[in-house]
């Protein structure tokens, strides 16, 4: 395994076959993820079963709410794609836009997300990552103290309503996604990192008495969180397996020319713990 650290977040790994990792090699990879927060492992060739088996080494897999985009026969894999075959979309063509952390609307949000790229556009379509621990540490002590103890409502219902192209939620989806309340400043369970746990206004709302002030503060914090010194871009190649720690990173997809270029990516989401408030 050869590892090269990025400028801000993450590391690129080459000369590694994740399907062939023994326990010691996996433990080293897990520690690298804890340290660098995002790993881009190049030149992988995985079947759906191999992809799922590798993800399960990090913990149990949560199924995405939008079951229409599950891979047939492999519901653990959520498909992201603009490809249509036989009149049927292979996946969700508009997934991941807007700064967010995955499945934050669950009581146990995603700890580790894994994306495996089958086809990628020749330009555009990068994924941006922002380090919420660095951005929190850069705030004045008075603002840090103000944010500790605050909570936010994380709502799949609000997210769904912000995407009018989706069909109405089913009763099963509604039952599975009640609004959830998480701390605004979250402590990583495996290390000393403390980070801001916020997404954009489409599915996360700071809980303040004055909603106007809540939105102003949330937008101010998000603008701070995604400043250039806290952000890293991943430029995709076919065969990339990218995994990251959602507890101290937020991310967003970027646009590409969907009319000219194809994209096919598999995703799995490893369940985490109930977020721990930083005090």
Compute the distance between CA of residue 129 and CA of residue 66 in angstroms, rounded to an integer: 23
Average pLDDT over residues 213-232: 97
Q: Is the pLDDT of residue 201 over 90?
A: no
Question: Phi and psi dihedrals of 233, rounded to 5?
Answer: -105, 135
**Distance between CA 149 and CA 277 in Å, rounded?**
7
For the residues 206-227, what does the mean pLDDT come to?
Answer: 97
The answer to whether 113 and 246 have CB atoms below 8 angstroms apart is yes
User: Binning pLDDT at 50, 70 and 90, where does residue 172 land?
Assistant: very high
Side-by-side strand order, sheet with 231-234: 231-234, 127-131, 249-253
SS3 content of the chain, % helix, strand, coil (to 5): 25, 30, 45
DSSP 96: S
Residue 166: pLDDT over 90: no
pLDDT value for 42: 98
Span 240-259, pLDDT tens digits: 999 999 999 999 999 999 99
- Average pLDDT over every residue of 16-41: 97
By the 10 Å C-beta count (0-12 exposed, 13-18 middle, 19+ buried), 163 is classed as: middle
The tens digit of pLDDT for each residue in 133-148 reads: 999 999 999 999 999 9
Which domains can be identified in the chain, with CATH numbers?
A: 2-272 (3.60.130.10)
pLDDT at position 279 is: 86
pLDDT of residue 269: 99
Residue 46 has pLDDT above 90, yes or no: yes
Q: What is the pLDDT of residue 192?
A: 85
Confidence grade of residue 165 (pLDDT, cut at 50, 70, 90): confident
Enter the tokens of residue 226. 């995604």
Question: Over the stretch 67-122, which tens digit does the pLDDT of each residue have?
Answer: 999 999 999 999 999 999 999 999 999 999 999 999 999 999 999 999 999 999 99
Paired with 92 in beta bridges are 80
- Which residue from 84, 126, 123, 81 is spatially nearest to 257, judged by alpha carbons? 123
- Reported as type and span, the H/E element at residue 180 is strand 180-183
Q: pLDDT averaged over the chain?
A: 96
Q: What's the confidence (pLDDT) of residue 219?
A: 96
> Hey, what are 9's tokens?
């977040």
> Would you state the pLDDT for residue 21?
96
Identify the band that residue 193 occupies on the pLDDT scale cut at 50, 70 and 90: very high
CA 135 to chain centre: 17
**Residue 69 to residue 55: CA distance in whole angstroms:** 18
In terms of DSSP bridges, do strands 84-85 and 88-89 run parallel, antiparallel, or are they unpaired? antiparallel
Contact 96, 252 (CB under 8 A): yes
Q: Mean pLDDT across the stretch 155-174?
A: 91
DSSP-assigned letter for residue 92: B
Rounded to two decimals, what is the model's pTM?
0.96
Strands 38-41 and 11-14: parallel
């Amino acid at each position: 395994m050869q590892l090269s650290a990025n400028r801000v977040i993450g590391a690129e790994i080459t000369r590694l076959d994740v399907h062939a990792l023994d326990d010691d090699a996996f433990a080293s990879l897990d520690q690298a993820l804890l340290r660098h927060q995002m790993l881009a492992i190049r030149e992988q060739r995985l079947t759906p079963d191999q992809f799922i088996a590798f993800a399960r080494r990090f913990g149990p897999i949560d199924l995405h709410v939008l079951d229409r985009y599950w891979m047939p026969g492999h519901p653990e894999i959520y498909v992201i794609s603009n490809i249509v075959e036989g009149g049927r979309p292979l996946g969700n063509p508009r997934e991941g836009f807007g700064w967010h952390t995955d499945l934050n609307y669950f009581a146990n949000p995603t700890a580790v997300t894994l994306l495996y790229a089958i086809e990628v556009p020749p330009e555009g379509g990068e994924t941006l990552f922002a380090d919420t621990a660095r951005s929190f540490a850069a705030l004045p002590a008075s603002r840090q103290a103000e944010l500790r103890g605050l909570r936010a409502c994380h709502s799949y219902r609000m997210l769904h309503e912000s995407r009018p192209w989706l069909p109405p939620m089913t009763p099963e989806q509604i039952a599975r996604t009640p609004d959830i309340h998480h701390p605004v400043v979250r402590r990583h369970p495996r290390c000393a990192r403390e980070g801001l746990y916020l997404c954009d206004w489409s599915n996360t709302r700071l809980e303040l008495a004055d909603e106007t002030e809540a939105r102003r503060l949330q937008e101010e914090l998000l603008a701070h969180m995604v400043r250039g010194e806290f952000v890293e871009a991943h430029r995709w190649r076919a065969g990339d397996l990218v995994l990251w720690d959602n507890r101290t990173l937020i991310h967003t997809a970027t646009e590409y020319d969907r009319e000219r270029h194809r994209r096919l990516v598999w995703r799995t989401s490893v369940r985490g713990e109930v977020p721990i408030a930083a005090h």
